[in-house]
Amino acid sequence: MARIPAGPPLEGLRRQIARHRREKPTRSDKLFVRETFRLERSAARAKAREWFETWPKAAYWTEVESWRQLDGDEIEFTMRRLPSAD
């Protein structure tokens, strides 16, 4: 009967993972402000333009994070920006 080799010891890895999690706890992504909209196409463009004018991309990293076209002429999209400029 063949013997199955033992796997690598995992206790050291478990300690490293635990130490990393203690020292660098996972932060919830509070770095960005996000807002999701569901608007008709022309209103969606106007809303995105409004965000870029209010919070310029160079200072606030403003961007359309995601978007999708829905039935009809509706667009659902998420805008993202920093909460404040440095």
pTM of the model: 0.64
Residues 6+ apart with CB under 8 A from 61: 32, 80, 81, 82
DSSP-derived secondary structure letter, 72: T
Q: Is residue 63 part of a domain?
A: yes
Q: Is residue 9 part of a domain?
A: no
Q: Is residue 77 part of a domain?
A: yes
Q: Is residue 57 part of a domain?
A: yes
Task: Using DSSP, state whether 2 is helix, strand or coil.
Answer: coil
Structural domain boundaries enclosing 40:
31-81
Count of domains in the chain?
1
Q: Write out pLDDT tens, residues 22-80.
A: 776 655 556 899 999 999 999 999 999 999 999 999 999 999 999 999 999 999 999 99
